[in-house]
Amino acid sequence: MPNTRFSTALAGILLAATFAPLPAGAEDFDAGREEYLAACAACHGETADGNGPMAEMFKAPVPDLTGIAARDDGVFPTRRIMEIIDGRAEVRGHGNPMPVFGNRFVNERVSEKWYSYSLGNSEQIARGRVLELVLYLQSIQQ
- In this predicted model, what pLDDT tens digit does every residue of 70-92 receive, in sequence order? 999 999 999 999 888 877 777 66
Q: Identity (one letter) of the amino acid at 77?
A: P
Average pLDDT rounded to a whole number, residues 11-22:
50
Distance between alpha carbon 69 and the CA centroid of its chain, in Å? 15
- In this predicted model, what pLDDT tens digit does every residue of 95-140 receive, in sequence order? 544 544 545 666 544 555 555 555 556 667 778 888 999 999 999 9
Q: How far apart are CA 139 and CA 99, in angstroms?
A: 25
Q: What is the pLDDT of residue 104?
A: 63
Q: Which of 98, 125, 112, 116 is nearest to 7 (CA)?
A: 125
Q: What is the pLDDT of residue 23?
A: 45
Q: What is the pLDDT of residue 47?
A: 95
Q: What is the pLDDT of residue 122?
A: 66
Residue 38 near residue 133 (C-beta atoms within 8 A): no
- In this predicted model, what pLDDT tens digit does every residue of 26-83 receive, in sequence order? 457 888 999 999 889 999 999 999 999 999 988 888 999 999 999 999 999 999 998 8
Helix 30-39 × helix 122-139 angle, to 10°: 100
